[in-house]
Amino acid sequence: MSEKDFGIRILLNGAFGQMGRVVSSLIESGYMDTVLAACVDVSLGSSANALGSGKTSDFGGGRNCASVSCNSALSGKAPDFSNGRKTCLTEVRADASVKPVESFNEAHSRIECGTADAAVESVEDDSDPARTFFCSRLEDVLVDFDVIIDFSHHSVTSELLKFAIERKKPLVIATTGQTEDEIALIHEASRKIPVFFASNYSIGVATLIRLAKIAASALPDADIEIVETHHNRKIDAPSGTALTLFDAVKSVRTGAVAKLGRSGHARRERDEVGIHSLRLANVVGIHEVFVTTAAEQLVLRHEAYSREVFARGALDAAMFLKDSEPGLYSMSDMLERPER
């Protein structure tokens, strides 16, 4: 199948995490004619750690890549190459326990096995765009692809940027919590390749950020507070989106100062913008901006009902980057592109 027959080929890092599986499932559904060319998970040391198993998937004594004509790991199980004899993937199915297989052929899931050398050689044949290659390390990805999407962990930012520059491929960074050093590396890399970096890939949130900026400008004397709510497994607080909302306010109120939570005995300062974090059950994501004067209150609110909204946005960003020049792009750039 030629490139014109499908959209873009995605290299997905963080493939076995929750968001990675959402992205894989969306691609499998045919969204924007995208194709999952390869899956990697180098975050926190191994793909298995991303699954919470605590085990390292070393893919069996140096066997680091194999092919599967299946576009999603719906069972949430990473391929296991550790059976010691052959480079066999484990069966990846939502309705079955994971088990080593010698051969498996079904409508949407075919698992191929062979010797270690044969498996690695097979990744050089990317003639079948329905085939996905699962690899344990970035350097083992030999199949061609168009754009990298990262839904893993900010700690691998440096490694991913280096890989993207070496391969001369665009990179969509869909993680938050980057350190100042990692952000500096992102800016530096964007001089060489297209990099899309956003705290939130929802079009609705991008609109919320614009509205927050408008409201802060229209009501210059209003007190502004930001509240974000997420599931109880989210690690970073406040959320990257809450910080982006603050940046939007600060862009029109240059004296604004972020106040992370409130405690003690002190009056609210005029330039403070309170940022508050709630962690509750399985909440996907809620962001609220309260803009309040003595006479009125404006509340801007966005709630994500499904993580699919972030997956769609990341794939939209990948499509945006495919023909873009080197540079650092955000959701506002994508919204402003004329053909959108």
Rounded to whole angstroms, the Cα distance separating 174 from 312 reads 12
Rounded to an integer, the average pLDDT of 30-54 is 61
Residues 146, 96 share a domain: yes
Among candidate residues 55, 86, 231, 234, the one labeled active-site is 234
Whether pLDDT at 170 is above 50 = yes
Q: Are residues 186 and 287 in the same domain?
A: no
Report residue 56 CA to chain centroid gap: 22
Indicate which CATH number applies to the domain containing 143.
3.40.50.720
CA distances, 274 to each of 200, 249, 270, 289, 306 (Å)? 20, 12, 11, 10, 27
pLDDT value for 30: 86
pLDDT of 6: 52
Together in a domain, 53 and 168: yes
* Whole-angstrom distance, CA of residue 14 vs CA of residue 132: 14
pLDDT at 43: 62
Residues 47 and 106 in one domain: yes
One domain for residues 107 and 190: yes
Residue 226 lies in domain: 203-304
Q: What whole-number distance in Å separates Cα of residue 234 and Cα of residue 246?
A: 20
Shared domain check, 250 and 124: no
Question: Is the same domain home to 132 and 268?
Answer: no
**Tokens (6 digits) for 260:** 């992370």
Residue 64 neighbours by CB under 8 Å, 6+ apart: 81, 120, 135, 136, 137, 140
3-state helix, strand, coil in the chain (%, to 5): 30, 25, 45
Give yes or no for residue 166 having a pLDDT over 80: yes
On whether both 298 and 314 belong to a single domain, the answer is no
Domain shared by 209 and 66, yes or no: no
Examine the domain organization and report whether 215 and 174 are in the same domain.
Answer: no
Cβ-based neighbours of 78, under 8 Å, separated by 6 or more: 16, 41, 46, 47, 48, 50, 51, 53, 57, 134
Burial level of 117, CB count in 10 A (0-12/13-18/19+)? exposed
How many domains does the chain fold into?
2
Q: For residue 235, how many C-alpha atoms fall within 13 Å in the half-sphere facing its CB?
A: 7
230 is catalytic: yes
Is 80 exceeded by the pLDDT of residue 54? no
Task: Tell which residue, 58, 54, 23, 52, has the closest CA to residue 39.
Answer: 23
Q: Are residues 176 and 320 in the same domain?
A: yes
- How far is residue 41's CA from residue 153's CA, in Å, rounded to a whole number? 10
Pairing of strands 327-329, 110-111: unpaired
Residue 36 · residue 48 · CB < 8 Å: no
Looking at residue 224, which CATH number applies to its domain?
Answer: 3.30.360.10
Q: What is the dihedral of CA 131, 133, 139, 145, to 10 degrees?
A: 30
pLDDT above 90 covers what percent of the chain? 57
The rounded distance, in Å, linking the Cα atoms of 128 and 277 is 46
Segment 165-177 shows an average pLDDT of 96
Verify whether residue 77 is a known catalytic residue: no
Whether 164 contacts 189, CB under 8 Å:
yes
Q: Which of 169, 230, 287, 302 is catalytic?
A: 230
The pLDDT score that the predictor gives to residue 338 is 64
What is the model's pTM? 0.76
Regarding whether 100 and 225 lie in a shared domain, the answer is no
* 58 pLDDT more than 60: no
CA 142, 196, 202, 217: dihedral to nearest 10 degrees? 180
pLDDT at 131: 58
